[in-house]
Amino acid sequence: MSRVKKLVPFVVDVALVIVFCAVGRRSHDEAIAAGLLRTFWPFGTGLLLGWVLAVAVAAGREGVSAARGFDGRTVWPTGVIVWLSTLAGGMLLRAVSGQGVAVSFVIVAATFLGLFLVGWRAAAQALSSR
């Protein structure tokens, strides 16, 4: 698999987290462009951490050379690790930076991010196994 092709799942994840943040801002009648970075950075940082953890888990299970063959399209463990890290990291960083982390928001974010970050992988795997 080429290096560019390996980056596609990461780019898809970033785009989906941006969509999540934009939809959230829009649903609260907040300016999307003006505040998108403020909303995105905690979740983007959590996403990046999730990718690092997913590669580390693959390397730990299969040896260091697994990082070269790492496939970011798998539901388990990659999708689940990325989802949970994006959620937990995003909420932790929002709390530390004084942004809201109401229980209802955590539930909505967990659902939305789970559907997006795990869902596209599950759909891709289902379509490729046909």
Q: Where are the domains of the chain?
A: 3-128
Q: How far apart are CA 26 and CA 90, in angstroms?
A: 19
Apex CA 78: angle with CA 73 and CA 84, to 5°? 130
Chain segment 54-97, per-residue pLDDT in tens: 999 988 877 777 677 789 999 999 999 999 999 999 999 999 99
103-113 helix and 3-27 helix, angle to the nearest 10 degrees: 140
Higher pLDDT, 35 or 47: 47
Q: How far apart are CA 83 and CA 18, in angstroms?
A: 14
What integer pLDDT is reported at residue 60 of this predicted model? 83
Q: Does the model's pTM come out above 0.75?
A: yes
Chain segment 23-43, per-residue pLDDT in tens: 999 988 778 888 999 999 999
